[in-house]
Copies of this chain bind each other. A is one copy, B any other.
Amino acid sequence: MKVTPWEVSGNIDYNKLIKGFGVSKIDNKLLERIKKHTKELHFMLRRKIFFAHRDLNWILDEYEKENKFFLYTGRAPSGKIHIGHLQPWIFTKWLQDKFNVELLFQFPDEEKFLFKQKLSFEEGQKYLQDNMLDVIATGFDPKKTKFLIDTKHANLMYKEACRVAKKITFSMVKSSFGLNDKSNIGSIFYTSMQAVPAFLPSILKNKKIPCLIPHAIDQDPHFRLTRDILPKLGHYKPGSIQCSFLPPLQGIQGKMSSSSEISAIYTSDTEKEVERKIKKYAFSGGQTSLKEHKEKGGNPDIDVSFQWLKYLFEPNDKKLNKIETDYKSGSLLTGELKEILINKINTFLKKHRQKREKARKQINKFLD
């Protein structure tokens, strides 16, 4: 297992990650506390897809004292958006709606340029434009959501990043991110830019505002460092809430990757492409013959189609449980399960693409 902000591979043991990273498991008590405010629990919470957190109880303490938090999440543009990217955004939108809070959405448009030898800055900028549409299509409230693009908003960010940077030594980024003497000095500096949105609203509004960061667990090393530094600058430590990874098409190891066509369903994939990819590549937990499947049943835990329904496309627990039971019993066949998923994805993506088209005219609302 390898989980860093730049590489996720192997069989991911989330309990090991909780211990290794030092995050806290989200327990039922905390779920109940959230539910007091949100009335219902998002399926990603019920199913422990968002499974860990840092200081979420403190975030709720402050919220209950009417010291509202803001949300901070982001996307480093370097490729097309796939459904794995949408997962935490969908949850973030739910948090925004339920808690009625502001969201700062960062586009660190230098990050992937600095970390990927072959990516040109210009190519990254094309994806930036493209990716913003998918973020808007997720449905964030334009009145409560601001985009922060590192190179375009550097006037706001660079100065603050320097304050962070002064508190971080090369030793610290070496141990947090595995950088070394051959790393370029932009990649070494970068984590300071990722820290800035966690306190920028506090600077701009000249008062301390709690920050909650929903993110996939691989980004935790950045925010762990951010949490160490921010109190030294007179800011709150940001709270965070972590999700597990949507598995790639070919099996439940690692995470969905933009760079592998056969691992991902992109928001731009046509209905035909979705059908073809799921039928051809989606790893099945079913048995090799129809007879064997009817006898022994399938294994939903390793079945990517089932996992995707669980992670994203079947919010209804009863329906999901029925699919799981039927699949385990062998009465639901792999082909049938895949059909359910294909329909769900295509229904979802049809709407998403409509919203994405409308988003072209909305970008400026998010950039002020």
Which A residues fall within an 8 A CB radius of B?
110, 113-114, 121, 150-155, 157-159, 161-163, 165-174, 179-189, 191-192
A162-B110, A189-B165 are contacts. A170–B183 as well, Cβ < 8 Å?
yes
| Contact B181 A171, beta carbon cutoff 8 Å | yes
Contacts of A192 in B (CB 8 A): 185-186
Among all A-B residue pairs, the 4 with the closest Cβ atoms: A165-B186, A189-B189, A154-B154, A154-B158
From B172, B180, B185, contact of A189 by CB (8 A): B185
User: Which of the listed residues A154, A162, A168 has the most CB atoms from chain B within 10 Å of its own CB?
Assistant: A162
A153-B155, A155-B152, A155-B154 are contacts. A170–B180 as well, Cβ < 8 Å?
yes
| Assembled-state Cα–Cα distance A183/B163 (Å) | 14
From B158, B180, B181, B183, contact of A158 by CB (8 A): B158
Query: A154-B154, A171-B181 are known contacts; what are 19 more A-B pairs with Cβ within 8 Å?
Result: A110-B158, A113-B166, A121-B159, A121-B162, A121-B163, A161-B186, A165-B187, A166-B186, A166-B187, A168-B184, A168-B186, A169-B181, A169-B182, A170-B170, A170-B180, A170-B181, A172-B185, A185-B192, A188-B188
User: Which of the listed residues A110, A158, A171, A172 has the most CB atoms from chain B within 10 Å of its own CB?
Assistant: A158
Minimum C-beta distance from A276 to chain B (A): 37
Contacts of A151 in B (CB 8 A): 155, 158-159, 162
Main secondary structure of the interface of A (DSSP, over half): helix
| Assembled-state Cα–Cα distance A163/B189 (Å) | 13
| Contact B162 A171, beta carbon cutoff 8 Å | no
Contacts of A186 in B (CB 8 A): 161-162, 165-166, 168, 189, 192
| Assembled-state Cα–Cα distance A114/B169 (Å) | 11
| Contact A182 B165, beta carbon cutoff 8 Å | no
A174-B181, A182-B171, A189-B185 are contacts. A154–B159 as well, Cβ < 8 Å?
yes
What residue in chain B is nearest A158 (Cβ atoms)? B154
| Assembled-state Cα–Cα distance A152/B180 (Å) | 31
Minimum C-beta distance from A184 to chain B (A): 5
| Assembled-state Cα–Cα distance A114/B159 (Å) | 11
User: Which of the listed residues A154, A173, A185, A186 has the most CB atoms from chain B within 10 Å of its own CB?
Assistant: A185
| Contact A167 B184, beta carbon cutoff 8 Å | yes
| Contact B152 A168, beta carbon cutoff 8 Å | no
Minimum C-beta distance from A235 to chain B (A): 14
Contacts of A183 in B (CB 8 A): 169-170
| Contact A159 B189, beta carbon cutoff 8 Å | no
| Contact A110 B154, beta carbon cutoff 8 Å | no
Minimum C-beta distance from A172 to chain B (A): 8
| Contact B185 A170, beta carbon cutoff 8 Å | yes
From B110, B157, B166, B181, contact of A114 by CB (8 A): B166
| Assembled-state Cα–Cα distance A185/B170 (Å) | 6
| Contact B162 A113, beta carbon cutoff 8 Å | yes
Contacts of A113 in B (CB 8 A): 162, 166
Minimum C-beta distance from A288 to chain B (A): 49
| Assembled-state Cα–Cα distance A152/B155 (Å) | 6
| Contact B155 A169, beta carbon cutoff 8 Å | no
| Contact A165 B184, beta carbon cutoff 8 Å | yes
User: Which of the listed residues A182, A183, A189 has the most CB atoms from chain B within 10 Å of its own CB?
Assistant: A189
| Assembled-state Cα–Cα distance A183/B170 (Å) | 6
Minimum C-beta distance from A155 to chain B (A): 5
From B114, B159, B169, B173, contact of A162 by CB (8 A): B114
What residue in chain B is nearest A161 (Cβ atoms)? B186
